[in-house]
Chains A and B, each alone.
Chain A
């Protein structure tokens, strides 16, 4: 018995070292995104230093990151519960289109002003909630439900303006894109405000903790009496909120409401979330991670532009980033089936 007890401790020690190795890997994944961002900034500073680090360029970056940041915030919570939301392009475009038809515009007599903005955002919230409910109640995978809704929202957007986009004529809204506060555009401030709200929700509410729990293992919070379905639906609704706000701001920035406001907004957001360190499996990462991710994607886009790289390459690179980031963080085991 003595000999076996001795070796038995070794098996437990083996197990402990295995866990320690996993923890070290987790720690590396936590700081990796920051290193990547640092490396990128360094890279572009060396190659295009004077232009890249100029005030003009930096403020362009601040401008650029507003909409992706908004979208990525909403998407972060969805990915943290282990799901995904592919409806982004549609939801954003729909909100922007609806908004342009509700405020003072060239197509109809509406003049709902602020209320118009709110209603447009609510439309996206509603879509998000519906996606959540269908996913939860009908048990259809979230990628499929949200993929279908991308098209439904695209259709609704185009339907709303019937092929001819409305131009916004509300004087206040027309002037918003040019408004700054301490040198930072108002639109970016809205994104920063949402970031603070999202961070607050994540860290200072029970709901934020439940998101981590549901993403780690649904059964644990369920056994503790948490309404897991409600958490999931709220996460999708919050995502809808973020997409709606992004759409409305996009419309304001464009001065017009059309479906194209949303086109291509999904890939940068998805790339930002995964490259920031929020794993697809759920339960890890968070809003701060996504902020770094959005910075990485925006700096990369900006840098490539400065280097006169063909703009069509942008989406492709974002796709590659998604693939690499997910490949590095996915758990590989024979017992867990990935489809």
Chain B
């Protein structure tokens, strides 16, 4: 790391008081970020802390609701990522943005073919020459410019992405650029990560700056000069990496614990000793492995982890959406392999999915129809369905869950997020399934509805159902669960008991998530 004092370094980029409001929720509340030339700044924070949103605002994918940004001291208001590129800022997104059937050179200069055009056709030779220069600038001359991206491994592809971004920003005419890297190491092995770090250091030696977002704390501590911590959409602090240590950072990352009443801790009950679900050595190729745990009757088991930890994929496997590549699953004592959620449902296993719009509701159908989706078979009277039974069921649940709707025939598209979620819950409760996987059940739901859902979850286990919970926040998961399993990068890294009187602290859990 360079030892120059901050005084000597010029300010490259500044974001002040950035606020972003999305349909009622504040994703960012008055956030600041300063980047100086030639440094690596690490951004850390939990899921939903606002890191991705901030990056998207900086690169021009979405505008901020309030706040200003400056680049090279001048006001900076990008409307599109191309504006950002023109101003000297580039981003390597988490999802690959290379076109695999094109060559390295064609990808690096994608969209800029005009520069090499002569009489309507492109002079590839000239472009490949420029490609080689671009690769040299990021010390990647070993990458063949004419090779198809399809034939490169992921680490090399990552390098090409960086070369592309650096080239884009440099062609804007600025000497020093700002490169944003969003989770660049998620598909890299240890050696490749080190190679990436070498590249980054070479970049900063040339005066460019890098913003490095990762959930792996050890990486952030290894590569960055300064660290910014975000929590609940706000700045939780920043410091030179030299002054930071893991414990301090964890403390800063976690939110405050909310009151016991919110999670209805008084209703938390001890689970029965019998196991309804027994997972042995479950693995999904390339996603998670060696996962083993039991779920007892009447228990709320929370699974926590950051992006890429595999917690969502475990749920996909248990509910039947995905087929595991290894391991065994015992449901109520019987060995089971599911090829579809329909099969899982027949054993009483059902998941309430995370993405309500894409996977939860059919917005073109009514409340009545949506509630009946999981238990249509049970509404038969003779060879046909009994609309009386269906209507009766809907009426009952609209009342019980206090679903705000003009009537059971109202289209689901009209309901608010919270009420749509309640409809999904009603469906799950009618379905007679007793092993429920709740995937971010309070996501996008207002505070009042959240509390009702917590009460609902407590009721469910009281009736003898068992729940696997993926909480919207770490706090929620700790507060609601009897036990917590921690996952990181596809492996189980820890397990905590969470009895009412001795809930684990967020800090102790978070340290295992990263």
Q: Does A touch B (CB under 8 Å) in the complex?
A: yes
List chain A positions with a Cβ less than 8 A from chain B. 4-5, 7-19, 23, 26, 200, 204-206, 209, 212-213, 216-217, 220-221, 223-226, 283-284, 334
- Which A residues are in CB contact (< 8 Å) with B188? 12
- Which B residues are in CB contact (< 8 Å) with A334? 321-322
B190 near A205 with CB under 8 A, answer no
Per the bound structure, the CA–CA distance linking A220 and B96 in Å amounts to 9
Per the bound structure, the CA–CA distance linking A167 and B124 in Å amounts to 48
Per the bound structure, the CA–CA distance linking A7 and B326 in Å amounts to 15
Residue of A nearest to B285 (CB): A14
Per the bound structure, the CA–CA distance linking A204 and B122 in Å amounts to 5
Q: A8-B489, A8-B490, A204-B121 are in contact. Are A15 and B110 (CB under 8 A)?
A: no
| Count, A-B residue pairs, CB within 8 A | 92
- Which B residues are in CB contact (< 8 Å) with A225? 80, 82, 111
B348 within 8 A of A: no
Secondary structure at chain A's binding surface: helix, strand, loop or mixed?
A: helix
A205 near B120 with CB under 8 A, answer yes
B321 near A209 with CB under 8 A, answer no
Q: A14-B285, A26-B150 are in contact. Are A206 and B114 (CB under 8 A)?
A: yes
Residue of B nearest to A205 (CB): B121
CB distance from B502 to the nearest CB of A (A): 25
Tell me the chain B residues, 54-102 only, with Cβ under 8 Å from chain A. 80-82, 97, 99-102
Residue of B nearest to A224 (CB): B111
List chain B positions with a Cβ less than 8 A from chain A. 80-82, 97, 99-102, 106, 110-111, 113-114, 117, 120-122, 124, 150-151, 153-154, 187-190, 285-290, 321-322, 488-491, 493
- Which A residues are in CB contact (< 8 Å) with B187? 12, 15-16
CB distance from B92 to the nearest CB of A (A): 13
A12 near B189 with CB under 8 A, answer yes
Set A18, A209, A216: member contacting B113, Cβ < 8 A = A209
11 A-B pairs, CB-CB below 8 angstroms? A4-B488, A7-B491, A11-B289, A11-B490, A17-B286, A209-B106, A224-B110, A224-B111, A225-B82, A283-B101, A284-B101
B150 near A23 with CB under 8 A, answer yes
Not counting A13-B189, A23-B150, A216-B100, a sample of 19 additional A-B residue pairs whose C-beta atoms are within 8 angstroms of each other reads A4-B488, A4-B491, A7-B289, A8-B490, A9-B189, A9-B190, A11-B289, A12-B188, A17-B286, A19-B154, A26-B150, A206-B114, A206-B117, A206-B122, A220-B97, A223-B80, A225-B80, A283-B101, A334-B322
Q: A16-B153, A220-B97, A223-B97 are in contact. Are A213 and B82 (CB under 8 A)?
A: no
- Which A residues are in CB contact (< 8 Å) with B189? 9, 12-13, 16
- Which B residues are in CB contact (< 8 Å) with A17? 286
- Which B residues are in CB contact (< 8 Å) with A23? 150-151
Per the bound structure, the CA–CA distance linking A11 and B117 in Å amounts to 44
Per the bound structure, the CA–CA distance linking A7 and B322 in Å amounts to 22
